[in-house]
């Protein structure tokens, strides 16, 4: 592909709800531009974007995919994103490098949940947005209803630039509100003409409203308009482009990706009114410990950020770079700001789906793929030598659902961990950790489908089959009253025996205090050199677990007396005596179970607040309060037992129709209510049996 200057680059993320037609739209744009001979079909997995076997199997987009094409002298880098909630991190990654978000909305289903989510993510980045109303050729397609929804949800900045000509199967083209022209399509060929008579009145009213909405942004244009001088289509388009770049105007265009109606016009709009990287704000960075910014300048120092990593079974690791400043060429040497290691970019590629095409340079704002950067991870900054710069990027959404995985074949534990870490490098939304306490390997992700597909990739890419199970809750035990006991360890063998006696007093500590050991032995009842062994024996007994096998916490242990033998006593004998004494005292100290409690912050539309509060009460939650969120949202804060929210991600989606979101963090340990403790103990006994 030819080299393109920064001013002619358009980085465009296609976002929206699953099934709105984003991937089909990407295919139509590639076909209309002559980049591909014929568009692929989502149904048979022949599209450029959905090339992963898991995407073809499930019939949904899973990862963001690049689909660049050239139009009107511009390179338009399409980033096709998933529309399923489990893969929102891919949407975030695409928006982090996009200069324009094209929000794809189905005229049949209207504005759906993930459309709202994508809009909110783009809004948080102050990213320019354009809306494409798709599927106008389908049954039950309704442009006016969809436009009303857009205006109600997203405000007065929604500005329709086109009206559909015909409905459903009779949809034949669009009326251009800027030029008062009708463009109709017949087998892919566009013909311009006058507005149909039956649409003239509607088109005139919408045209006047559009012009008024555009000229408000320009004082000079507004003054002329009030004096009766109607601006030309070119003037309106120029002013509109400024409004789009500023994020105050959100144009609405329409068409059909399936029939390729008005797709050429969408490409033209992106090229003409879509902002280039040069029109976007400077990049925030950390340089020398201070926050500053780096302008998008092709003549500046080279600076790039890795926004995605792809693990190709043949090529190896492929790093997708967003060039933030300067111009990068093959064999350039940059330094990884995280590892401080020099990285040589042996080759640069323009990636289209899974196919790479060599390029000779990438200017500021462009997106380029670099293979075989072994020590580079997603999120890393590549900067010039002796210039320690780190790009400040928004934190991706944290995983919200976890499962435990173990290899199906014995002896594959190391192979599994290696495969999981490789999978994590490719998909930053996955997290892997080893829980030593419960002896489980925990895989966390964004939902059931995300985790299911991760397990499928483990099998396909790395040959590891896994079994899954629920994540065990790390309960604790503690005591509620003081108790004393004597620990005695006596063992006689042929030679030296083992002898140690220690008297222990145990008392409860405040929650979260952990462990305290007090040496109160006087008169040499236990020699000083054996006191550390007593403490160690107690600690090992606490870690080994109380009556139900869970670690014991928040206990003060005082060793106040004991006995020893000048020959047979040893560190081992006193360690064993302390362990025995602690266990005996524990049984008399009214032990109780403790459960982890988390702080849960749930953000939901006001209409769902009552449902969420009722649900939290059923989960033994203690609501701390509610606060007003953005717009019509409410934020509910509660303390909830961790065991009750293990699958909260799935339950909240069901409860709120996907419009709720939450954050979770460990808060404390609290006693388990007696009736719940009884049920839990019976369950544990059944598992052991």
Assigned domain for 199 exists: no
Do 45 and 139 share a domain, yes or no? yes
Q: Pairing state of beta strands 250-254 and 129-134?
A: parallel
Q: d(Cα 251, Cα 247) in Å, to the nearest integer?
A: 10
Residue of 228, 425, 181, 206 lying closest to 319 (CA atoms): 425
Domain count, the chain: 5
pLDDT digits (tens, 9 = 90+) for 27-79: 999 999 999 988 888 877 789 999 888 998 888 999 999 999 999 999 999 99
Residues with Cβ within 8 Å of 507's Cβ and at least 6 positions away in sequence, in order, are 479, 482, 555, 556, 558
Range of the domain at 464: 401-469
* Domain limit, last residue, from 279, 298, 329: 279
Do 260 and 329 share a domain, yes or no? no
Assigned domain for 432 exists: yes
Structure tokens, 551 = 């670690």
Structure tokens, 592 = 């109780």
Assigned domain for 208 exists: no
* CATH number of the CATH domain containing 677: 3.30.70.240
Assigned domain for 238 exists: no
Do 158 and 11 share a domain, yes or no? yes
Handedness of CA 662, 664, 669, 675 (dihedral sign): positive
Do 273 and 409 share a domain, yes or no? no
Do 34 and 134 share a domain, yes or no? yes
Do 62 and 151 share a domain, yes or no? yes
> What pLDDT, on a 0 to 100 scale, did the predictor assign at position 495?
67
Angle at 311 between CA 306 and CA 313, to 5 degrees: 150
**Exposed, middle or buried by CB within 10 Å (0-12, 13-18, 19+), for 201?**
exposed
Q: What is the CA radius of gyration of the chain?
A: 32
> What pLDDT, on a 0 to 100 scale, did the predictor assign at position 564?
92
**Which single residue is written with the structure tokens 């007696």?**
674
Q: d(Cα 253, Cα 265) in Å, to the nearest integer?
A: 9
Residues with Cβ within 8 Å of 222's Cβ and at least 6 positions away in sequence, in order, are 215, 216
* CATH number of the CATH domain containing 490: 3.30.230.10
Contact 110, 146 (CB under 8 A): yes
Do 358 and 431 share a domain, yes or no? no
* Cβ atoms within 10 Å of 689's Cβ, excluding its own: 5
SS (H, E, C) 87-106: HHHHHHHHHHHCCEEEEEEE
Do 350 and 307 share a domain, yes or no? yes
Contact 213, 158 (CB under 8 A): no
Q: d(Cα 280, Cα 125) in Å, to the nearest integer?
A: 11
Do 435 and 305 share a domain, yes or no? no
Assigned domain for 186 exists: no
Q: Which stretches does DSSP call E strand in 326-454?
A: 327-328, 332-336, 342-345, 348-352, 355-359, 362-363, 367-371, 381-383, 389-391, 401-407, 431-435, 440-445
Assigned domain for 191 exists: no
Do 287 and 150 share a domain, yes or no? no
Structure tokens, 29 = 């744009």
Residue of 531, 544, 550, 554 lying closest to 580 (CA atoms): 544
The whole-model pTM stands at 0.89
> What pLDDT, on a 0 to 100 scale, did the predictor assign at position 1?
56
Do 294 and 266 share a domain, yes or no? no
Q: How far is CA 179 from the centre of its chain?
A: 42
Contact 471, 404 (CB under 8 A): yes
Q: Which stretches does DSSP call E strand in 177-315?
A: 181-186, 189-193, 250-254, 283-287, 290-294, 303-312
* Domain limit, last residue, from 345, 363, 391: 391
* CATH number of the CATH domain containing 304: 2.40.30.10
> What pLDDT, on a 0 to 100 scale, did the predictor assign at position 393?
84
Three-state DSSP at 245 gives: helix
Assigned domain for 235 exists: no
* CATH number of the CATH domain containing 440: 3.30.70.870
Do 121 and 82 share a domain, yes or no? yes
Contact 209, 158 (CB under 8 A): no
Q: d(Cα 166, Cα 664) in Å, to the nearest integer?
A: 49
* Domain limit, last residue, from 230, 258, 279: 279
Assigned domain for 198 exists: no
Can you list the residues of the chain whose pLDDT is less than 50? none
């Amino acid at each position: 592909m030819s080299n393109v200057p920064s001013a002619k680059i358009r980085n465009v993320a296609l976002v929206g709800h699953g099934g709105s037609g984003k991937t089909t739209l990407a295919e139509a744009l590639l076909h209309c531009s002559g980049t591909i001979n014929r568009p692929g079909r989502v149904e048979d997995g022949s599209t450029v974007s959905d090339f992963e076997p898991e995407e073809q199997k499930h019939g949904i987009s899973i990862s963001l995919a690049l689909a660049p094409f050239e139009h009107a002298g511009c390179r338009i880098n399409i980033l096709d994103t998933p529309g399923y909630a489990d893969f929102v991190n891919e949407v975030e990654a695409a928006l982090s490098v996009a200069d324009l978000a094209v929000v794809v909305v189905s005229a049949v289903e209207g504005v759906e949940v993930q459309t709202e989510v994508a809009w909110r993510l783009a809004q948080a980045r102050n990213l320019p947005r354009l809306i494409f109303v798709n599927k106008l050729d389908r049954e039950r397609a309704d442009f006016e209803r969809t436009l009303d929804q857009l205006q109600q949800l997203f405000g007065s900045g929604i500005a329709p630039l086109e009206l559909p000509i015909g409905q459903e199967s009779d949809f034949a083209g669009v009326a251009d509100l800027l030029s008062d022209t009708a463009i109709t399509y017949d087998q892919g060929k566009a013909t311009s003409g006058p507005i149909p008579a039956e649409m003239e009145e509607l088109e005139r009213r919408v045209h006047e409203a559009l012009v008024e909405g555009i000229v408000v942004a320009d004082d000079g244009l507004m003054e002329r308009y009030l004096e009766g001088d109607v601006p030309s289509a070119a003037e309106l388009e120029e002013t509109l482009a400024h409004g789009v770049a500023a994020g105050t105007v959100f144009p609405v265009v329409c068409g059909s990706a399936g029939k390729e109606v008005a797709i050429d016009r969408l490409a033209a709009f992106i090229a003409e009114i879509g902002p280039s990287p040069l029109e976007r704000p400077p990049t925030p960075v950390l340089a020398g410990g201070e926050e500053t910014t780096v302008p998008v300048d092709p003549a500046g120092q080279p600076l790039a950020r890795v926004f995605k990593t792809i693990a190709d079974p043949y090529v190896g690791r492929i790093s997708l770079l967003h060039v933030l400043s300067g111009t990068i060429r093959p064999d350039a040497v940059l330094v990884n700001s995280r590892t401080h290691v020099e990285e040589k970019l042996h080759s640069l590629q323009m990636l289209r789906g899974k196919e790479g095409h060599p390029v000779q340079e990438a200017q500021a704002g462009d997106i380029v793929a670099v293979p075989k950067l072994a020590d580079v991870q997603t999120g890393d900054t590549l900067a010039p030598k002796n210039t320690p710069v780190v790009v400040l990027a928004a934190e991706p959404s944290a995983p919200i659902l976890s499962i435990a995985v173990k290899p199906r074949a014995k002896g594959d534990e190391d192979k599994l961990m290696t495969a999981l870490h490789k999978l994590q490098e490719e998909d930053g939304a996955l997290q892997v950790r080893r829980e030593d306490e419960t002896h489980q390997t925990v895989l966390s992700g964004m939902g059931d489908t995300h985790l299911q597909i991760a397990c499928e990739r483990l099998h396909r890419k790395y040959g590891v089959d896994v079994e899954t199970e629920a994540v065990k809750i790390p309960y604790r035990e503690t005591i509620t009253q003081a108790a004393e006991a004597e620990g005695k360890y006596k063992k006689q063998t042929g030679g030296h025996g083992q002898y140690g006696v220690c008297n222990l007093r145990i008392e409860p500590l405040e929650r979260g205090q952990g462990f305290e050991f007090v040496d109160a032995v006087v008169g040499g009842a236990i020699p000083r050199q054996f006191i550390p062994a007593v403490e160690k024996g107690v600690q090992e007994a606490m870690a080994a677990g109380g009556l139900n096998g869970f670690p014991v916490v928040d206990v003060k242990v005082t060793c106040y007396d004991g006995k020893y033998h000048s020959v047979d006593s040893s560190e081992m004998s006193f360690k064993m005596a302390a362990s025995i004494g602690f266990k005996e005292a524990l049984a008399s100290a009214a032990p109780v179970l403790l459960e982890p409690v988390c702080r849960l912050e749930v953000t939901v539309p006001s209409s769902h607040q009552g449902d969420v509060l009722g649900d939290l009460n059923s989960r033994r939650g203690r609501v701390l309060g509610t606060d007003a969120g953005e717009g019509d949202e409410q934020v509910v804060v509660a303390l909830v037992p961790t065991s009750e929210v293990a699958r909260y991600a799935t339950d909240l989606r069901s409860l709120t129709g996907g419009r709720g979101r939450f954050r979770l963090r460990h808060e404390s340990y609290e006693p388990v209510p007696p009736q719940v403790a009884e049920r839990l103990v019976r369950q544990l006994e059944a598992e052991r049996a």
